[in-house]
Amino acid sequence: MSRSLTRKLIESRLRAGRAVAGEEIGLGVDQVLLTDTNGTMAFLQFEAMGFPRVVPGCVVAYVDHNVSQVDSRNSDDHRYLQTAARRYGAVFSKPGNGICHQVHLESFAVPGRTLLGTDSHTPLCGAAGMLAIGAGGLDVAAAMGGGPYFLPMPEVVRVWLTGELRPWVTAKDVILELLRRLSVRGGAGKIFEYAGPGVATLSLPQRMTLANMGAELTLTTSVFPSDRVTRDYFRRLHRKDAWSAQEADADAAYDGQIELDLATVEPLVALPGSPDRVVPVADVVDTPVEQVMVGSCTNGSWEDMWAVTEILRGRSVHPSVSFVLFPGSHRILETMAREGLLADLLASGALVSEPSCGACAGIGHVPAAGTKSLRAFNRNFPGRSGVKDDQVYLCSSVTAAASALTGRITDPREVGATPEPYLPGNFVASTAGFVAPDGTGEVVRGPNIKPVPLGEPVAETLEAPVLIKLGDKVSTDDISPAGAAVLVFRSNVPAIAEFCFHHADPQFVARARAAGRGIVVAGEHYGQGSSREVAAIAPMHLGVRAVLAKSFARIHRANLLNWGVVPLAFDDPAAYDAIEPRDRLVLRGLRAALAAGGRVTVGNTRSGTGFTASCALSPREREILLAGGLLAHTRARTQAARG
Ligand code: MIC
Ligand code: SF4
């Protein structure tokens, strides 16, 4: 049978299940990437599971989020990560070496292989013909121990690209166009495989932008063929030997198709609040902006930095604008220095930051209250920039640069001739930012490293209050906010739990503590956005035992299961309307119902009415959930084996 590239990649690593859409599959993992925000916890979990050494051939631990180490607790985490990496067999990427996704593509990506990462934007490496997926820490810890990664087999949708981008239109506008058409839920349960004559016209960094920001569509991942364009980039990276051709069969079958003529795309902007509130730049032109930024794992490429420099050269950033650039990697920054970009950028008044996530995760450059920020980043969920009621617009790097000059959102087509792309002959740079493991040394646990918590087995009956009733599209940023003050506690669950639902309801934590047990109620697409596992662990720590929602985002649902919190979907979404905050719900026979198939009857003690909700589980998920999550399950099995 003729196969899509995605199916070839999946079938080549299939360790459990059948590759039939919707059925659970287990995939062999060739490579793992860890970040400083989630990797510390993943390594603690890896240790708690008792693994002696990482099994996949390539495991890399990156310090890329909390790079400025504004607090010694960040440095505590980093020291733990570095010493654990050394001992257990992972490469360590130092602070300043770059954002994990960009660096991983440059230094470790191998077309045809699988990659699992503790970060939702891990799909970036799909740009180079890899199957790259983001997951929660426990799933990654299990994969580091040699286990497969389990997920529902996605539908494979072909994105058929024709035409060519017009001047001043970028890959960022293409992904914003897809978000405009499909919304942040449009990719749930799907993999996008890019194909068609338009693909060959896209550079590798443009493909990276598309694959990366597919996370905002909630895609499981995105896959590009590995072709001549990929080979040329690998040659410039001096990694020609790692390259191989990867492509779909000519008459491969797909579960669906989307068509897009690249020539019809225009510069777009996402309005504050959500990456899918997309409008043509013309709709927001002249909106005053006080802050403009280019970077993140979506727009930190050489190509972005080059285009911005071309626009700024010989001109000045507007006096009322703070303009910050975050190169995606040390390699890009070093190349910018060699190729003379830095002098021009600095002369124009731009601030060139160290290669890091930085402001994208709310770390530094927090906008002033009431001001507008225009960002060539990927997410603008409310409050993510670090200030309540923020107004963050998303755009391409060229729209950002054009606007930095005027102090208003500006259509880049007004700037003049489009910057000619230029690629340096090579991207060879220092490798001093990497530390290879040698299997020795002591793992250092500073005072900020707290023990990994354990979930509780699901109770026979759950009777608990509704602690909070939320609307649609609640992101993990809403559940456990980004920002330096919070991220510092990623290895300290009791401390980070204090920030749970901080922006939505500052009383949530006190209420949860007083209740002892609780239920969260939400609308569609609960837990969208990041892979941050703490958005499941912190509520669990505060007593949340079930989440009732109209639907769940994939990674967050898996995280809830991994921590013994029951993700229940309303059978009739109308039942959501009948629940009031503080209602007391009774899930009688919950455990037995989950064991029997997953349909649970929920009674409301205030109204005296009832409704049903379901938790569709694979046999593996059922065992894990009932045991109280993956760690509790592993522990119970180990104890049983010891007798
Ligand atoms: C994000 O962009 O939201 C993050 C910060 O990179 C997260 C990871 C985290 O919360 O640690 C993600 O995308 O998964
Ligand atoms: Fe870092 Fe932002 Fe990318 Fe998350 S989205 S990995 S915070 S750059």
Q: Which amino acid residue places its CA nearest to atom 12 of ligand 1?
A: 530
Q: Are residues 295 and 376 in the same domain?
A: yes
Would 452 be classed as within a structural domain? no
Span 488-510, average pLDDT: 94
**Cα 68 to ligand 2 centre (Å):** 15
- Residue type at position 144: M
Ligand number, closest to the Cα atom of 297:
2
Boundary-marking domain end, from 248, 264, 280: 264
Ligand 1 atom nearest the C-alpha of 118 is 14
Ligand 1 atom nearest the C-alpha of 532 is 10
Q: Residues 454, 628: contact at Cβ < 8 Å?
A: yes
pLDDT digits over 111-130, tens only? Answer: 999 999 999 999 999 999 99
Ligand number, closest to the Cα atom of 101:
2
Would 420 be classed as within a structural domain? no
**Other residues' Cβ atoms within 10 Å of the Cβ of residue 484:** 18
- State residue 1's pLDDT score: 77
CATH number, domain containing residue 597: 3.20.19.10
Q: Are residues 232 and 84 in the same domain?
A: yes
Q: Is 522 in the pocket of ligand 2 (CB under 6 A)?
A: no
Would 150 be classed as within a structural domain? yes
Would 437 be classed as within a structural domain? no
- State residue 483's pLDDT score: 87
pLDDT digits over 218-232, tens only? Answer: 999 999 999 999 999
Span 203-216, average pLDDT: 98
pLDDT digits over 13-23, tens only? Answer: 999 999 999 99
Would 439 be classed as within a structural domain? no
**Cα 506 to ligand 1 centre (Å):** 22
Q: Are residues 58 and 137 in the same domain?
A: yes
Q: Which amino acid residue places its CA nearest to atom 2 of ligand 2?
A: 360
Span 167-194, average pLDDT: 97
pLDDT digits over 143-174, tens only? Answer: 999 999 999 999 999 999 999 999 999 999 99
- State residue 57's pLDDT score: 97
pLDDT digits over 421-432, tens only? Answer: 999 999 999 999
Three-state SS for 367-420 is CCCCCEEEEECCCCCCCCCCCCCCEEEECCHHHHHHHHHHCECCCHHHCCCCCC
Q: Are residues 176 and 123 in the same domain?
A: yes
Q: Are residues 347 and 322 in the same domain?
A: yes
Is the confidence at residue 448, as pLDDT, over 90?
no
3 state DSSP class of 492: coil
Q: Residues 157, 192: contact at Cβ < 8 Å?
A: yes
- State residue 444's pLDDT score: 96
Q: Is 394 in the pocket of ligand 2 (CB under 6 A)?
A: no
- pLDDT tier at 643, thresholds 50, 70, 90: low
Q: Are residues 248 and 295 in the same domain?
A: no
Ligand number, closest to the Cα atom of 478:
1
Q: Residues 291, 365: contact at Cβ < 8 Å?
A: yes
**Cα 356 to ligand 2 centre (Å):** 8
Domain that holds residue 112: 5-264
Boundary-marking domain end, from 217, 235, 264: 264
Longest distance between any two alpha carbons in the chain, whole Å? 75
Q: Is 171 in the pocket of ligand 2 (CB under 6 A)?
A: no
Q: Are residues 475 and 540 in the same domain?
A: yes
> Ligand 2 pocket test: which of 208, 297, 363 has the largest number of ligand atoms within 8 Å of its C-beta?
297
**Cα 150 to ligand 1 centre (Å):** 21
Helices (H) and strands (E) in the chain, counts: 23, 27
Torsion, Cα of 346, 100, 238, 208 (10° steps): -80
| Domain total of the chain | 3
CA angle 190, 477, 114 (to 5 degrees): 40
Non-local (6+) Cβ contacts of 71 within 8 A are: 484, 488
What is the average pLDDT score of the chain?
A: 96
Q: Residues 212, 379: contact at Cβ < 8 Å?
A: no
- State residue 103's pLDDT score: 98
- Residue type at position 322: S
- State residue 179's pLDDT score: 98
**Cα 531 to ligand 1 centre (Å):** 6
**Cα 457 to ligand 1 centre (Å):** 28
CATH number, domain containing residue 152: 3.30.499.10
Which stretch of DSSP H or E encloses residue 342?
helix 341-348
**Cα 64 to ligand 2 centre (Å):** 9
Q: Which amino acid residue places its CA nearest to atom 3 of ligand 2?
A: 297
Nearest residue to 553 (alpha-carbon basis) of 184, 246, 109, 279: 184
pLDDT digits over 369-389, tens only? Answer: 999 999 999 999 999 999 989
Is the confidence at residue 303, as pLDDT, over 90?
yes
**Burial (0-12, 13-18, 19+ Cβ within 10 Å), 280:** middle
Q: Is 378 in the pocket of ligand 2 (CB under 6 A)?
A: yes
**Cα 598 to ligand 1 centre (Å):** 30
Ligand number, closest to the Cα atom of 360:
2
Boundary-marking domain end, from 232, 264, 296: 264
**Cα 584 to ligand 2 centre (Å):** 38
Is the confidence at residue 639, as pLDDT, over 80?
no
Q: Is 487 in the pocket of ligand 2 (CB under 6 A)?
A: no
Q: Which amino acid residue places its CA nearest to atom 3 of ligand 1?
A: 530
Span 58-80, average pLDDT: 93
Would 450 be classed as within a structural domain? no
Percentage of residues in the chain with pLDDT exceeding 90? 94
- State residue 635's pLDDT score: 80
3 state DSSP class of 603: strand
Ligand number, closest to the Cα atom of 100:
2
Ligand 2 atom nearest the C-alpha of 360 is 2
Would 435 be classed as within a structural domain? no
Q: Is 360 in the pocket of ligand 2 (CB under 6 A)?
A: yes
Span 496-510, average pLDDT: 95
Would 436 be classed as within a structural domain? no
Q: Are residues 253 and 278 in the same domain?
A: no
Q: Are residues 116 and 221 in the same domain?
A: yes
Span 349-353, average pLDDT: 98
DSSP structure string for 74-90: HHHHHHHHHHHHHHHT-
Span 81-94, average pLDDT: 98
Q: Are residues 488 and 530 in the same domain?
A: yes
CA angle 623, 625, 630 (to 5 degrees): 85
Q: Are residues 30 and 167 in the same domain?
A: yes
Q: Is 405 in the pocket of ligand 2 (CB under 6 A)?
A: no
**Cα 65 to ligand 1 centre (Å):** 9
Span 527-549, average pLDDT: 97
pLDDT digits over 319-338, tens only? Answer: 999 999 999 999 999 999 99
Q: Are residues 473 and 397 in the same domain?
A: no
- State residue 642's pLDDT score: 72
Q: Is 296 in the pocket of ligand 2 (CB under 6 A)?
A: yes
> Ligand 1 pocket test: which of 35, 394, 479 has the largest number of ligand atoms within 8 Å of its C-beta?
35
Which stretch of DSSP H or E encloses residue 232?
helix 228-236
pLDDT digits over 571-627, tens only? Answer: 999 999 999 999 999 999 999 999 999 999 999 999 999 999 999 999 999 999 999
